[in-house]
Amino acid sequence: MLLVDQARRIAESINDPEVPVLTLGDLGVIRDIYEEEGCAVVCITPTYSGCPASDYINALVSQALEQAGIKAFIKTVLSPAWTTDWLSEDGKQKLSAYGIAPPVDSQSDDLFFEPTVPCPNCQSTHTRQLAEFGSTPCKAHYQCLTCKEPFDYFKCFKRMSA
């Protein structure tokens, strides 16, 4: 049990390589950790499938655990798929404080629905999308029409309804 607790503490405190203000714990990508024959098995669900950071995240976790003397085995869990619903409230606040608009839950199944994204600087809702993809595919680039500041929006990502 101790091994699992220690492994969880280490794994969840690692910063996300794409959005360094968030930890993997904030992202909610560490789905489960259990012990198997003295090895910590860490189940990780990648954020966006095809996100190049996924392999990197796995490497970061196994490295950090190894450095702490924990033998780790990373298991990629693809189902259920990650959604922005798994972001912690703490994580959303950190994003906003960092100048990235947290995901807006559109409550809509329409993939082309464009949410109103409030500006993280001045909270104005007069914002427009400049580019569908920001610094990473997980983000869109927006500009606030009130304070003129450009900002990144962490896209809301939902499970496709079957």
Binding region for Zn ion (CB under 5 A): 119, 121-122, 124, 144, 146-147
Do residues 14 and 64 lie in contact, with contact meaning Cβ atoms separated by under 8 Å? yes
CB of 161 to Zn ion, least distance (A): 33
CB of 26 to Zn ion, least distance (A): 24
For Zn ion, give the closer residue by CB, 41 or 104.
Answer: 104
For Zn ion, give the closer residue by CB, 103 or 118.
Answer: 118
Report how far apart, in Å, the C-alpha atoms of 30 and of each of 47, 78, 108, 128, 132 are. Answer: 10, 12, 27, 33, 27
CB of 155 to Zn ion, least distance (A): 19
The two three-digit tokens of residue 32, written as one number: 């489960």
Cα distance between residue 24 and residue 11, in whole Å = 7
For Zn ion, give the closer residue by CB, 131 or 145.
Answer: 145
Closest CA to 82 of 24, 149, 41: 24
CB of 99 to Zn ion, least distance (A): 10
CB of 146 to Zn ion, least distance (A): 5
Q: Angle 117-123-126 (CA atoms, 0-180°, nearest 5)?
A: 55
For Zn ion, give the closer residue by CB, 144 or 156.
Answer: 144
Task: For the chain, list the strands marked E by DSSP.
Answer: 30-36, 39-44, 72-76, 100-101, 127-131, 139-144, 150-154
For Zn ion, give the closer residue by CB, 82 or 151.
Answer: 151
